[in-house]
Amino acid sequence: MRPQQDNVIHEENEMSNPSHTMTGRGGRSRLWDRVLLFGTGLLVCIAGVGSGILGEIYHVNSAWLFFAWNSILLIPLVGGDFRSQLKRPSFILFFFAWMIMHGLTVLGLMRWVDVLYWIPLLAVELFIGYFAAYCLFDIPSE
Protein backbone atom coordinates (compact mmCIF):
# COMPACT_ATOMS: atom_id res chain seq x y z
CA MET A 1 0.00 0.00 0.00
CA ARG A 2 2.87 2.34 0.70
CA PRO A 3 4.26 2.33 -2.89
CA GLN A 4 0.86 3.46 -4.18
CA GLN A 5 0.91 6.40 -1.81
CA ASP A 6 4.40 7.34 -3.00
CA ASN A 7 3.20 7.25 -6.60
CA VAL A 8 0.26 9.50 -5.79
CA ILE A 9 2.53 12.00 -4.08
CA HIS A 10 4.96 11.84 -6.99
CA GLU A 11 2.16 12.48 -9.48
CA GLU A 12 0.89 15.42 -7.42
CA ASN A 13 4.38 16.93 -7.43
CA GLU A 14 4.62 16.56 -11.20
CA MET A 15 1.21 18.11 -11.71
CA SER A 16 2.00 21.01 -9.40
CA ASN A 17 5.06 21.92 -11.47
CA PRO A 18 3.68 23.33 -14.74
CA SER A 19 7.12 23.85 -16.25
CA HIS A 20 7.80 20.11 -15.92
CA THR A 21 4.65 19.09 -17.78
CA MET A 22 4.53 21.86 -20.37
CA THR A 23 8.10 22.01 -21.59
CA GLY A 24 10.26 19.49 -23.32
CA ARG A 25 13.92 19.70 -24.19
CA GLY A 26 15.31 23.16 -24.77
CA GLY A 27 12.28 24.90 -23.25
CA ARG A 28 9.94 23.88 -26.08
CA SER A 29 6.44 22.77 -25.25
CA ARG A 30 5.48 19.13 -25.62
CA LEU A 31 2.71 20.16 -27.97
CA TRP A 32 5.21 21.79 -30.33
CA ASP A 33 7.41 18.67 -30.12
CA ARG A 34 4.44 16.53 -31.12
CA VAL A 35 3.55 18.87 -33.98
CA LEU A 36 7.13 18.65 -35.25
CA LEU A 37 7.11 14.86 -34.90
CA PHE A 38 3.84 14.59 -36.82
CA GLY A 39 5.14 16.98 -39.50
CA THR A 40 8.34 14.98 -39.89
CA GLY A 41 6.40 11.74 -40.21
CA LEU A 42 4.12 13.33 -42.77
CA LEU A 43 7.10 14.57 -44.80
CA VAL A 44 8.70 11.12 -44.76
CA CYS A 45 5.44 9.55 -45.96
CA ILE A 46 5.05 12.16 -48.70
CA ALA A 47 8.65 11.68 -49.81
CA GLY A 48 8.30 7.89 -49.86
CA VAL A 49 5.01 7.85 -51.74
CA GLY A 50 6.19 10.67 -54.01
CA SER A 51 9.37 8.83 -54.93
CA GLY A 52 7.33 5.71 -55.68
CA ILE A 53 4.94 7.65 -57.89
CA LEU A 54 7.79 9.40 -59.70
CA GLY A 55 9.49 6.04 -60.13
CA GLU A 56 6.36 4.67 -61.77
CA ILE A 57 5.94 7.74 -63.99
CA TYR A 58 9.57 7.71 -65.18
CA HIS A 59 9.84 3.89 -65.22
CA VAL A 60 12.61 3.67 -62.64
CA ASN A 61 13.34 0.18 -61.35
CA SER A 62 12.07 -0.24 -57.79
CA ALA A 63 15.47 -1.65 -56.78
CA TRP A 64 16.95 1.82 -57.34
CA LEU A 65 14.33 3.33 -55.03
CA PHE A 66 15.11 0.78 -52.32
CA PHE A 67 18.81 1.40 -52.79
CA ALA A 68 18.38 5.17 -52.54
CA TRP A 69 16.12 5.10 -49.47
CA ASN A 70 18.24 2.57 -47.61
CA SER A 71 21.33 4.62 -48.34
CA ILE A 72 19.64 7.82 -47.16
CA LEU A 73 18.26 6.15 -44.03
CA LEU A 74 21.80 5.44 -42.87
CA ILE A 75 22.16 9.17 -42.13
CA PRO A 76 19.67 9.29 -39.22
CA LEU A 77 20.57 5.75 -38.20
CA VAL A 78 24.26 6.39 -37.48
CA GLY A 79 24.94 10.00 -38.52
CA GLY A 80 24.30 11.39 -35.04
CA ASP A 81 27.10 9.29 -33.60
CA PHE A 82 29.62 10.96 -35.92
CA ARG A 83 28.29 14.52 -35.85
CA SER A 84 31.65 15.99 -34.87
CA GLN A 85 33.34 14.30 -37.83
CA LEU A 86 30.96 15.56 -40.51
CA LYS A 87 33.13 18.66 -41.07
CA ARG A 88 36.04 16.59 -42.38
CA PRO A 89 35.98 15.99 -46.15
CA SER A 90 37.68 12.61 -45.75
CA PHE A 91 34.99 11.44 -43.34
CA ILE A 92 32.25 12.70 -45.66
CA LEU A 93 33.73 10.58 -48.47
CA PHE A 94 33.95 7.59 -46.12
CA PHE A 95 30.35 8.09 -44.99
CA PHE A 96 29.19 8.38 -48.62
CA ALA A 97 30.96 5.10 -49.44
CA TRP A 98 29.38 3.52 -46.34
CA MET A 99 25.95 4.72 -47.52
CA ILE A 100 26.51 3.08 -50.89
CA MET A 101 27.68 -0.17 -49.28
CA HIS A 102 24.69 -0.13 -46.91
CA GLY A 103 22.27 0.32 -49.81
CA LEU A 104 23.93 -2.49 -51.76
CA THR A 105 23.91 -4.72 -48.68
CA VAL A 106 20.18 -4.24 -48.18
CA LEU A 107 19.51 -4.89 -51.87
CA GLY A 108 21.62 -8.04 -51.75
CA LEU A 109 19.84 -9.23 -48.62
CA MET A 110 16.46 -8.65 -50.21
CA ARG A 111 17.47 -10.46 -53.37
CA TRP A 112 19.42 -13.50 -52.15
CA VAL A 113 19.08 -13.99 -48.38
CA ASP A 114 16.21 -15.34 -46.32
CA VAL A 115 14.48 -12.76 -44.10
CA LEU A 116 15.57 -14.64 -40.98
CA TYR A 117 19.19 -13.62 -41.57
CA TRP A 118 18.65 -9.94 -42.40
CA ILE A 119 19.00 -8.49 -38.90
CA PRO A 120 22.18 -10.37 -37.96
CA LEU A 121 23.80 -9.58 -41.30
CA LEU A 122 22.82 -5.91 -41.07
CA ALA A 123 24.27 -5.83 -37.56
CA VAL A 124 27.55 -7.22 -38.92
CA GLU A 125 27.54 -4.63 -41.72
CA LEU A 126 26.91 -1.77 -39.29
CA PHE A 127 29.58 -3.10 -36.92
CA ILE A 128 32.13 -3.17 -39.75
CA GLY A 129 31.20 0.40 -40.69
CA TYR A 130 31.51 1.63 -37.10
CA PHE A 131 34.76 -0.25 -36.63
CA ALA A 132 36.23 1.20 -39.82
CA ALA A 133 35.14 4.71 -38.83
CA TYR A 134 36.71 4.41 -35.38
CA CYS A 135 39.94 2.94 -36.74
CA LEU A 136 40.39 5.22 -39.74
CA PHE A 137 39.43 8.50 -38.11
CA ASP A 138 40.65 8.02 -34.51
CA ILE A 139 37.22 8.77 -33.08
CA PRO A 140 37.38 8.55 -29.30
CA SER A 141 34.92 6.11 -27.77
CA GLU A 142 32.48 7.73 -25.39
For the chain, the structural domain boundaries read 1-59, 61-142
> pLDDT tens across 55-86, in order?
999 999 999 998 999 999 999 999 888 988 98
> pLDDT tens across 33-51, in order?
999 999 999 999 999 999 9
Single pTM value for the model? 0.70
Distance of alpha carbon 61 from alpha carbon 83, whole angstroms? 33
Distance of alpha carbon 18 from alpha carbon 65, whole angstroms? 46
